Amino acid sequence: MKLIQIPFSHNCVKVRVALAVKNLPYEVENIPPRDRSSPLQASRQGLVPVLVDGDRAIADSTAILLYLEERHPDPPLLPHHPGERARCLVLEDWADRAFMEMSRRIAYGTIFQQPGRLASLFFPGERGLKARIKERAAKRVVRKRFRISEARHVKDLADARRAAALAVDLLDGRPWLMDHGPTIADVALATMSAPLALASELRDDPAVQALLTWGIKLLPKDVAARYGRS
């Protein structure tokens, strides 16, 4: 199998976590955010992640996790009981919807305050004036695409605190959201909330910090290090 990814995309990290839990071998094709030719060629759409498995190309992180569960059911990432399976899928969907866009905007808003940081992610081979010019242009594109603004940032921080408190209550001190080991719901919650670690405004929030500490056990080491959680 081959995973076409942008290395810092938390949707791609979500798939990497599932592959690691299932101990499945795979190759990685890293692409720069500005060049979507590879996912387009593989899957006829430009978003990542894309998992290529033989003559199959699966796009969308949740669709990939469900595909892996179907093809490689052991160890399971979904409960077998229909009611528990349904609850797990609802929790996975909630984690995606509650955290994905909000945590991405918060992370980018923080990165924007660090000169050169966005350029290092988007244009790792560029240096000097050329990198600074490209970074300014990339900031405009990212702000527009993800609807990033100061007012939205304030709202996102409040939403992050509420969602993290709810997640901690759902866990209720247990190691996982369900009783049968990690599931796709845990994978989604850990990876979608991880970018909150970049926000200095959330470092004094006990629920956010508890959630990040809980999720660290699922994150790849390079991702944990990127968020300062290693």
Query: What does DSSP assign to residue 60?
Result: S
**Contact call for residues 30 and 121 (beta carbons, < 8 A):** no
* C-alpha–C-alpha distance, residues 2 and 197, integer Å: 29
CATH of domain 2-71: 3.40.30.10
Identical fold between 2-71 and 82-226:
no
The pLDDT score that the predictor gives to residue 127 is 87
Q: Is 167 exposed, middle or buried (0-12, 13-18, 19+ CB in 10 A)?
A: buried
Q: Which residues of 196-224 are buried (b: 16+ CB within 10 A; e: fewer)?
A: bbbbebbeebebbbbbbebbbebbeeebb
Is residue 181 over pLDDT 80? Answer: yes
pLDDT tens per residue across span 78-137: 999 999 999 999 999 999 999 999 999 999 999 999 999 999 889 988 889 888 999 999
Q: Does domain 82-226 have CATH number 1.20.1050?
A: yes
Burial (CB count within 10 angstroms: exposed 0-12, middle 13-18, buried 19+), residue 74: exposed
Sequence spans of domains, the chain: 2-71, 82-226
pTM of the shown model? 0.93
> Could you give the dihedral angle defined by the CA atoms of residues 135, 32, 11 and 74, in that order, rounded to the nearest 10 degrees?
-160
The pLDDT tens digits for 61-88 are 999 999 999 999 999 999 999 999 999 9
CA angle in degrees (0–180, nearest 5) for 43-45-50: 50
